A and B are shown apart, each in its own frame.
Chain A
Amino acid sequence: MPKFELLEPADTREALSLLSELGERARLLAGGTDLMVNLRRGRIRPEYVVRILSKEGLQGFSTGSTGLRIGAMATIREVAVHPAIKERFPALARAALSMATPQVRNRATIGGNLCNASPAADTAPPLLVHDAEVDISGAAGSRTMPLRDFFQGPGAAALQAGEILTAIRVPDPGTGVGAAFIKLGVRKAQEIAIVSVAVLLRRGAAGQVDEARIALGAVAPTPLRVPAAEDELRSRPFSLELAARAAGLAASAVEPIDDVRATAEYRRAMAGVLVERALVDAWEKAAENCEG
């Protein structure tokens, strides 16, 4: 493993100033479950690794009237078992639980999962359908942006050198909403998705789809939403045929590649199958969540 110097700043401010000083020579370390693998494989060779473990403000969950704030350093396990997430954002909890192994989930953070910007990052699709936003801090100040704009390519997040993702904000979904997550892989643990899908539907009083959001992972350079499929659903009465039509649109919107896990062709076909299944699932859950 290439040698590096480990720096452990006392707080976020110190971390930011270190990062701005060191620029490209430094890398941020959260849980390290992506970073260490890349270091060992020689894919990155930073001179400095800046550790931001257990820093105030980056941790914990806070719920307010508008939604949930998840600190970037929350571990995947914490996300998977947090009562508010299980209750109001079950697709996110499921996605977190589908990741890796218990050991990795104990270390890996949600911020790391997003900043690593893998097209297959499991927490991305559910956060995308929840219209999550991310809080970013840099030496020059802080900003908030929609998660949708955060992913720019494989391994490329919309972070300037020296910026830290501090939190993820997920608006409260409200009533009549159902969300689903399905991950396709060949084994039940320790599996990077061949295709993953998250769906959020809001069910209208007359049985029509009031709101539809669909996101997919591992089928394009970034996790992505599929607006054409969402538009197809909106304001229409839900049916299996409608779900199949929207799924077809989703499948044609993706840009998968061939790799060791699957062919592009299989991925595209599965994008459709999974979207269709997730839509049916989300619709049933939406019914359960309707008031009265």
Chain B
Amino acid sequence: MALSIVGKRAIRLEAPEKVTGSAAFVADLKLPGLLVGKVLRSPHPHARILNIDTSRARALAGVKTVVTFTDTPGIKYNAAAHPAPGSVLLRDQYLLADTARYVGDPVAAVAAVDEDTAAEALDLIRVDYQPLPFVLEAEAAMAPGAPLLHDSGRNIVGRVEFTLGDVEDGFREADHIFEHRYRTSKVFPCSVEPPGVTMARADWSGRLTVWSSTQMPHQIRRIVAGALGVPQGKVRVIKPYVGGGFGSRLGAVNEPLCALLAMRTQKPVRLAYSIEETFLGTESRHPIDLTLRTGVKADGTLTARRLDAILNAGAYATHSVSFASPVGNWFRGMYKCPNYRYEGIAVYTNTSPSGAFRGYGNPQVNFAVESQMDEIAEHLGLDPLTLREKNHPCMGDIWERTKWPIESCGLEEALSLGAAEIGWREKRGKSRDGGKGRAGGGSSSGTGDASSTGNAVRGGDAFRHRGVGMAYMLHCSCGRPALHELSTAMVKMNEDGSANLLYAGADSGQGSLTVMAQIVAETVGIPLEQVQIDPVTDTDLTGFEVGSHASRQIYAGGNAVRRAALAARHEIVALAADIVGAAPGDLEIADGVIRSTSDEQKQVTVAEICREALFGSRRRQIIGMVSEEPEGNPPVYAAQFAEVEVDTRTGAVEVLKLVAAHDVGVAINPANVEGQIEGALQQGLGYALTEEVVHQPATGRPGASNLGEYKVLTAKDMPEIKVIIVEAASRTGPYGAKGVGESGLVPTAAAIGNAIYDAVGVHLDSLPFTPSRVLAALKGEAGAKGAVITVKK
């Protein structure tokens, strides 16, 4: 039967609540006697804590508790979420630091009657630090004699190797070998609701309830219980509306600490980190140093690929022990090549911990690989599109990331639609061919309409050059087979024919709630309005759900939801068959009505069947329940194209247009898919152009610690955007869906970098492409350090 709800641009279920401001986020929740928590953070990047005097803070009226390392349970924990064996969770962290390991490391916490009292209490705490030598860069931290962060004897926290074939043989076979070194920056998601907004209550029965703005309620329950040494069954996690995730709340942020304050005071406590604290003490994308060596035949066939990656893990392990694996997986999965070798090393430094951020290592790898592919194409005289078409893995090929055959591939269509939309054939190579560049249409390197007119002058136009560039990417639909991907869903049919979906999905603004409702409605055969899902997720009321990570929510969660709905539908059909006297196979359901395909007279409504089940002969409720992992992990493909204008005197890069052609499998809700991609492009643009936190060499402090200094691009900065959805249906996803949550930002930086090359002929090897970096590259200052191109024969 044709689909009637899947594929529709259904309006977000929660839109009215959010638009009217009635949607409650953690910070909106109130309980009687609610206390306010605050954290005191280390001003030193590395220091022994000799003594903490909390007496004056404790004495302040309104202060209910002050805690330091000695008040914690003394249990080492890891804030990351993924359970073993898929990832190794090295426990190297206490709830409050014994030794300060980065500027921002929490050393004490207070709970007080209000915000001002809590802030004043922090001011009254005296900490005697003995500053220790510190190290901020990963490479320096690996060197002998570097200051050690933990007592493990070395700063290397994780090391991963992957090999196929023999790379040395492959390099011998190559006509050309390219080697470059790329560096990526430390960036933060900066979601509208900062990560680390928690409320906790310890009641007299010993129950601990944690309201968390998390992406993974069930994982938080386990992490909180473990960190505090309380039985997991005593912990209940509730996730209300969440204002953005992007990986920033993939594990615990401050839930265990807030719970500790609640347990100490036996009062509800709210601990809400400010946006400034985001930059000081929450997880960022890993800065990675990537040395990439590629062997290629004159016709563009790849013979050998080698990547050596050094990951800056920050001060605590969190995800980093295993993080080098996905980095290597993205690398080896991107292109077909009989020989590859990958080595990834994660290293502790005295900076805030790195962790998950949309794309999970792929944006870094993609920037390196796709920047280099552009140079290879240029060198071999091949169209960059041709080089990708020739080497990307396709349907039926083994995807090296999973070692499973690829279910579907829409890349070729994405490449050709994207190329047409950006005007690839007309524009690519024109700037460099002409040698003079094309003058810009009066747009500006300055800021704002206000100043832009000021630049439209004869003296300036000759310095503005346009170019187009592209990059391709492959991403995942979940974390299988490495990671555990369990989802549990229950579809409960009510006597009026409506359905409740009980599912611990972690919609953090991406709209997955609505898509789940579409899946239930389509699968059962009832109108969308008859499906109810509580946006509040509660671990007491739902089965285990991994949470929202790895672009999995619709692919993996949607699979369980669809299968639970299918189970309910089977029961409905079976009972209906009895009642109308038809074979179950003969019945279809649409819009809440069950009809026989062979006899029009035979029909009954879903409501009648559900009522009959409850109150009639059966006396049981129709409930479909499934707890399972999805079968596969189909890769998603995308090709992105950028058109830029580079001002060669200021180094400013203006992105004029972005085209994002994404194969997402079947788009269950195309508006949501476009929303995910557009939002990701905004983050990808910032990654490419402006966003970066550099820890200051002298002080170890983050160079940007608020949204004035950390440049998230604004609505005014967004270029024209064209999202093209390509639907190469997967075999294993619900209704053929694949993942889309992360992929939108993966190839953006490389596409922009390659467009800059097209415009002005320089390759940039470090993110972001700030005006001063672009200028330096134009003067021939940069690139010299990293790029080595060896041409044999």
Contacts and interface: CB of A to CB of B under 8 A. Distances in A.
Interface stretch (B290-298, B524-532, B626-634, B768-776): B768-776
Nearest to A185: B447
Contacts of B703: 260
A114 to B, nearest CB: 18
Given A186-B711, A266-B771, 16 more contacts: A94-B450, A94-B451, A95-B450, A96-B450, A97-B448, A98-B447, A98-B450, A184-B445, A184-B446, A187-B716, A189-B448, A261-B709, A262-B771, A277-B454, A277-B459, A284-B457
Contacts of A274: 650
A243 B459 contact: yes
Nearest to A1: B116
Interface stretch (A15-23, A152-160, A175-183): A175-183
A281 to B, nearest CB: 5
B771 A186 contact: yes
A186 B449 CA distance: 14
B448 A183 contact: yes
A189 B716 contact: yes
B708 interface: yes
Nearest to A243: B459
A54 interface: no
Contact of B455 (A186, A189, A191, A281): A281
A220 interface: no
Contacts of B445: 184
17 contacts: A94-B451, A97-B449, A98-B446, A181-B451, A182-B455, A186-B690, A186-B711, A186-B771, A187-B447, A188-B714, A188-B717, A191-B448, A266-B771, A266-B775, A274-B650, A276-B459, A281-B457
A143 interface: no
B416 interface: no
A262 B772 contact: yes
B650 A190 contact: no
B689 A281 contact: no
Nearest to B702: A260
Interface in B408-461: 445-451, 453-460
A98 B445 CA distance: 13
A33 to B, nearest CB: 12
B711 A183 contact: no
Contact of A187 (B116, B711, B775): B711
Contacts of A96: 450
The 10 closest A-B pairs by CB, nearest first: A97-B450, A98-B450, A94-B450, A185-B447, A280-B459, A188-B716, A98-B448, A280-B457, A189-B716, A182-B454
A78 to B, nearest CB: 15
Interface of A: 1, 3, 80, 93-98, 101, 180-193, 240, 243, 260-263, 266, 269-270, 273-274, 276-278, 280-281, 284
A185 B450 contact: no
B124 interface: no
A223 to B, nearest CB: 16
Contacts of B455: 182, 277, 281
A13 B770 CA distance: 50
Contact of B713 (A180, A187, A269, A276): A187
A240 B446 contact: no
A183 B457 CA distance: 15
A162 B208 CA distance: 55
Contacts of A262: 771-772
B172 interface: no
B704 interface: yes
B446 A183 contact: yes
Contacts, number: 104
Contacts of A263: 772
Nearest to A262: B772
Interface of B: 116, 445-451, 453-460, 649-650, 652, 689-690, 703-704, 708-709, 711, 713-717, 770-772, 775
B453 A94 contact: yes
A240 B447 contact: no
A243 B460 CA distance: 12
B770 A186 contact: yes
A278 B456 CA distance: 10
Nearest to B649: A273
Contacts of B454: 94, 180-182, 277-278, 281
A189 B447 contact: yes
Contacts of A3: 116
Contacts of B448: 97-98, 183, 188-189, 191
Contacts of A187: 447, 690, 711, 713-714, 716-717
A189 B716 CA distance: 7
A66 B236 CA distance: 73
A192 B771 CA distance: 15
A120 to B, nearest CB: 12
A45 B451 CA distance: 36
A182 B446 CA distance: 6
A274 B458 CA distance: 13
A281 B460 CA distance: 10
B646 to A, nearest CB: 14
Nearest to B686: A187
Contacts of B690: 186-187
B714 A190 contact: yes
Contacts of A240: 458-459
Nearest to A247: B459
B299 to A, nearest CB: 41
B447 A280 contact: no
A185 B444 CA distance: 11
B234 to A, nearest CB: 38
| Among B448, B453, B709: residue with most chain A CB under 10 A | B448
A78 B577 CA distance: 73
B457 A277 contact: yes
A96 B716 CA distance: 16
Contacts of A260: 703-704, 709
Contacts of A284: 457
B716 A98 contact: no
A191 B449 contact: no
A280 B453 CA distance: 12
A270 B445 CA distance: 11
B767 to A, nearest CB: 14
A260 B705 CA distance: 10
Contacts of B649: 273
